[in-house]
Structure 1
């Protein structure tokens, strides 16, 4: 998801002057204790989805069953950030093999849509809304691939809670109502949206009961008919006919040909912890590149929130994002030199570009010789057998493209907007190609055992957020809840792997959430950073940690969202 600053929601502020220090830690930003439970844990961005996940595990379902059930429910309860019209990525800790497995459930561009078409239309970027940015939705395929390998309950039982809530209704949560209201004016012109996602032309209000019988019917067809009911049955035919009638290119054949893939997660070590991400076409390795650069500094002598902390973080981010813009794309079309990009030796080279006194104004990516050659939901679950799931799912821009096929109850993603309409770029549009992806799940292991499953949604904030969570846990000694509640940093205006932005030439903008000392802001400005205050673009975090000795789970869900961590 591409986040927009929430300037009208002051309740999200973490300013120390507005709240007392935590009674245990003394930290101004601590909002509540970690949730601790012996058997199972779930953390999602909606309390009802969290309870669904726990109920599934109580009935004998695995953590994967719980994650699928919660994701299906969030498509109903948080359509501003998710839905079966979008893509999915997941990392799973398999306790039987003691290994992490990754799933790339991202879809490809329509086979009949070509780069020539965009050029003939005079387009320099792919539009953010309407039929042109729509790619094949990969979420449902991801559900069934994960379930086939790790599911315990029948899929009918897994999807039943979402179906029931879709028919009977649920009260809309506060933050979701806010974003929904922002989406309605933009998306109402697109066929099927107003009829299926408004109440007499407006968004449902906080606490108002929302039903989606069309979605219930679609989920029931999938529960009864399996994966092919979505990709090769009446649902796919409805989608194909809808786009053909409305100037689009996504076809039945595109859906029928879709297949996600199991992938090997990649990692780097950070002060004794192994941090895991998925390789491109996602942006996860940017977090690993940042951590490798930051590991070269002694943060035992650098305080959280100090000018040095923020400055070094921002400069490491600039270096990683320059490579992100150059190298991250669908590996089937443009393989990235991943091993070299996340190596310690490469980080040592790049770190030399950082000055302690002034910010980098522009950054070039590593050369081939050096290299050897925005809404989303995040959730995590853990079960009594030790399985842990890190799952992220999105329609990209808020509620997606606005294209809502009749009678289906969901909106198609606009992830194709992430392509570049420039020949020769790794992320150049091509038929049947996966676009650059922002959504990334994460995982931490220590000594070969699971330590934490976590994620932080929000476009380009995601790798930045992952790094901040790791640093908060490892460098600054925070617990799981504090690590998410701590004020966040976001740097903007780098060169992007998409067509929307030009190369950074002025150092970009450092956005700081309320809670950073004025002395830090002043010192950053004295160094030459352009510092801005912004309230909303810092993402949403969930996490589960497992104690390696007792097996006890610790859960966290931050205060910026409507979510909940709970266990039993």
Structure 2
């Protein structure tokens, strides 16, 4: 079974498994397709995280494929260039992309097929064209004005300055050539060959500090997952520099609270979740960064005492004011992929450009759109995310796995940038506390306390009476600018040997099994 946010990607994953590939092959194939058919959400110029459970093992493997700042990047150098903040359409927002290093390493270590077989569908869609789907058109239209500011990007993705219409066919020949080179030459084709030269030369022409050495030395790493117990299951997350630790903190906080008999959408329940969100994200802003550069107190953040302390600060009748997270810009663009194969290898896979179309900077010969993860850095002295050469920024993307009785039981993830940690809480508590099935847990309306403004973004299916009560308690309710997040999940029923999958209706995707 495969679940992705685009039907062509899900179909590609299924095709790979039918050809003898495993869950890792299928996840990378699906992601490569999405880098073509969902170019606003993800790309080969982005970053990647993966959690993989071989044959349903209760001890999943985790890989951090997030890129680092150029070696020459430091606050003093940027300030000498009169840079006071890292803007989106700036070469300084581009860290060295980690996705292709992650794909090639994971596929070589855990896949069955050749890389060329895995990338074949993506190459075909880039070369021969693909139809623009509904959500993809919406994402294009929302970024059209921004894309017009970069002539290379606009020339590739816009039709005389406007977003391509639903059902129109887009071809990406430059990206097809890059994917072919990677299929033939692997990692080195991207980080040492003509693709890297194209990216580095273009970034340097814009004032970037990137060098070929930054690219040739780029490498992701296997990391030890972190975990917490929740409702009889062990929830596994990647460790910092990602925000998975905050998802676990939120679950630990919710464990301190009673389950509302009225369901997940009462004013009382929503109020508690909003307040937990504010407190947990304040902890994220204060503590979470690259552990190679800062002492990240993971054990403290995951302790029951800390969760109990934060939960005890919640007033059940009144909203509190927590200082907003000022270190990261908001965004909602990423793709998450869940795949489980016949041997019950389970792959939880996520790939991102950060914002829609990332930095908006596209390398002119390779067609590689570059992410803007460097906006996760700050120039603030003493902050855990202060920019430094070779440092990774705080990352929002967090693939996850749940295990039970010595086996993997749930392969899941949530898209939506800052929402993701809180989204893990919402999905799991609706599934495990309130008896929703996988699809129902995704379908229910969402809300989140914006970590920047304190406002509560709330989807409009939540009733007026609940909204009025939340306003009475001091919350400011606003409509979200876009559907809140997205998600995919596959549950493994070992006793009946059945897989159950779900895919979020807020995206174009689907779950397919055979």
Q: TM-score under structure 1 normalisation?
A: 0.87
What residue number does 1:23 align with? none
**Deviation, structure 1 residue 363:** 6.0
What residue number does 2:386 align with? 428
Change (3 A) 1:560 1:383: same
**Deviation, structure 1 residue 258:** 0.3
CA distance in 2, matches of 1:285, 1:406: 38
What residue number does 1:103 align with? 63
Query: Match for 2:229 among 263, 269, 286?
Result: 269
Range with bigger deviation, 331-340 or 76-85? 331-340
CA distance in 2, matches of 1:295, 1:267: 15
2:470 maps to 1:512? no
What residue number does 1:553 align with? 499
Q: Is the 8 A contact 1:91 1:442 kept in 2?
A: yes
Q: Is the 8 A contact 2:248 2:302 kept in 1?
A: yes
CA distance in 1, matches of 2:58, 2:447: 34
Range with bigger deviation, 547-556 or 478-487? 547-556
CA distance in 1, matches of 2:164, 2:267: 43
Q: Is the 8 A contact 2:279 2:322 kept in 1?
A: no
What residue number does 1:288 align with? 248
Range with bigger deviation, 169-178 or 180-189? 180-189
Change (3 A) 1:459 1:98: closer
Q: Is the 8 A contact 1:197 1:203 kept in 2?
A: yes
After superposition, residues 45-444 of structure 1 pair within 5 angstroms as 45-95=5-55, 98-299=58-259, 301-362=261-322, 374=331, 375-444=333-402
Q: Is the 8 A contact 2:232 2:404 kept in 1?
A: yes
**Aligned length in residues:** 508
Q: Provide Cα deviations, 1:198-241, integer angstroms capped at 9, x if missing partner.
A: 23333221111111111111111111111111111111112112
Q: Is the 8 A contact 1:283 1:440 kept in 2?
A: yes
Q: Is the 8 A contact 2:70 2:95 kept in 1?
A: yes
CA distance in 2, matches of 1:201, 1:517: 40
What residue number does 2:408 align with? 450
Match of 1:179, SS state, is: helix
**Deviation, structure 1 residue 99:** 2.1
- What CA RMSD, in Å, does the superposition of the two structures yield over aligned residues? 1.6
What residue number does 1:493 align with? 451
**Deviation, structure 1 residue 279:** 1.0
CA distance in 2, matches of 1:147, 1:407: 26
CA distance in 1, matches of 2:156, 2:77: 31
Q: Is the 8 A contact 2:483 2:506 kept in 1?
A: no
Range with bigger deviation, 273-282 or 238-247? 238-247
Q: Is the 8 A contact 1:390 1:443 kept in 2?
A: yes
2:425 maps to 1:467? yes
Q: TM-score under structure 2 normalisation?
A: 0.96
Match of 2:63, SS state, is: strand
**Deviation, structure 1 residue 252:** 1.3
CA distance in 2, matches of 1:515, 1:425: 39
CA distance in 1, matches of 2:57, 2:235: 19
Match of 1:455, SS state, is: strand
What are structure 1's unaligned runs of at least 5 residues? 1-40, 366-373, 495-503
Change (3 A) 1:243 1:359: same
What residue number does 1:563 align with? 509
Q: Is the 8 A contact 1:317 1:464 kept in 2?
A: yes
Change (3 A) 1:318 1:60: same
CA distance in 1, matches of 2:481, 2:186: 42
What are structure 2's unaligned runs of at least 5 residues? 326-330
Match of 1:487, SS state, is: coil
Range with bigger deviation, 291-300 or 185-194? 185-194
**Deviation, structure 1 residue 535:** 5.5
CA distance in 1, matches of 2:211, 2:137: 32
**Deviation, structure 1 residue 54:** 0.1
Change (3 A) 1:252 1:379: same
Q: Provide Cα deviations, 1:315-359, integer angstroms capped at 9, x if missing partner.
A: 111121111001110110012110110111221122221111212
2:471 maps to 1:525? yes
CA distance in 1, matches of 2:107, 2:324: 42
Match of 1:395, SS state, is: strand
CA distance in 1, matches of 2:277, 2:58: 32
Change (3 A) 1:131 1:363: closer
CA distance in 2, matches of 1:300, 1:180: 40
